[in-house]
Amino acid sequence: MKLKRLEMEGLRNFRERTVIDFTDPLTGAPRDMVVMFGSNGSGKTTVMEVVEDLLLMAATPPPRATTIRPRPTRCALEVERDEYDRSRMGATTGSITFDVAAMENTLGPAVLCLHMQQAETQGIPVTGGLLLFPHNRELYPLQGDPRIEASPDDRTWVYRFQTSNQWHGSLEHNWVWLNYLDLENGRAEDDGEFSGALDLLRHVIGPERRIRVWRGRVRVTTPQGDEVLLDELPSGDRQCVMLFGALALQRRKGCVVMIDEPEISLHPALQRQVVHALRRFARDYDAQIIMATHSPEIVHSVSRSCVINLDYPDRHYDHTELESVAQ
């Protein structure tokens, strides 16, 4: 699944009618990477929340309560169905539109998501869907008794990253469990499930940084060579751990990844490394990456045609507008 077009009327932060186009203007195909930028209050976060709400509505059997606030006059999301969607439904190629009005009155296009939910209950691996990372991300010291036990499976079709300070279900809990499974099955340290879950993160923070489980906790070496717990890392490293750790656990073919302010706590050079790693993720998993940002580094890391300027939605940005928004 990839987003193609979002139409909104009657929503706060937007003009009377706004169309957000995620496609290439020449081919009409959905872009693999899109960056939305604009001043505070321009609607970047609203776009992500509307997409999430529409997909959640489509994935929920009737009766459905409209979660979008304030109530829009019209709101519709067009997505491109890919081979993963079609393999679940036996459907042909083409687009499908999730419309608030249609979903409130009839099953309509919700069939796609409902088939996805049924596949999950039957134990079929999750594909497609949305992985949403809101801007309020933080890695707190964990509370509770750290235990080596099976971690919960929260791979839902619409996933939202949630900040928590509880051990059960945390990223660290999952990593400790994967490390235990590798030991039980006699897998080599660099060829197990735990190592595979760290692959994306290592591409960002550097392969020389050792990440291991010792005495039931995950420990990471700092650039100075000290070994610390995850919540003791510098703020930029913690952001990378949360983003790429969760991506590795939730990864699935054909998904849409939406990240609000990926630049939080990141040095400009690290911001570019993050974009590079996300581009690699998009290629490996046939995913679509959509970011909302104030950072010139993020915007300059992609081609101009991949940038959506929410202050001036009907034309491409120029550098003067970009610098004024970033300040």
pTM comes to 0.88
**pLDDT tens profile 281-318:** 999 999 999 999 999 999 999 988 899 998 875 554 55
Per-residue pLDDT at 90: 47
What is the overall mean pLDDT for the chain?
A: 83
pLDDT band at 73 (very low <50, low <70, confident <90, very high): low
What lies within 8 Å, CB to CB, of 245 at 6+ separation is: 171, 175, 197, 198, 201
DSSP state of 233: S
Burial class, 88, CB count within 10 angstroms (exposed 0-12 / middle 13-18 / buried 19+): middle
Per-residue pLDDT at 327: 47
**pLDDT tens profile 130-165:** 999 999 999 999 998 898 999 887 788 889 999 999
Rounded to an integer, the average pLDDT of 175-203 is: 91
Looking at this protein, which amino acid is placed at residue 258?
Answer: M
Q: For a pLDDT cut of 90, what percent of the chain falls above it?
A: 51
Whether pLDDT at 46 is above 60: yes
Whether pLDDT at 322 is above 60: no
Locus of tokens 């952001």: 239
Give the closest residue to 301 by CA, choosing from 324, 277, 281: 277
CA dist 286 and 64 (Å) reads 31
Whether pLDDT at 85 is above 90: no
Using the Cα atoms of residue 50, residue 51, residue 57 and residue 58 in order, give the sign of their dihedral.
Answer: positive
Residue-range domains of the chain with CATH: 2-129+252-326 (3.40.50), 139-152+164-251 (no CATH)
User: E strands of 70-179, at which residues?
Assistant: 74-81, 94-99, 130-133, 158-160
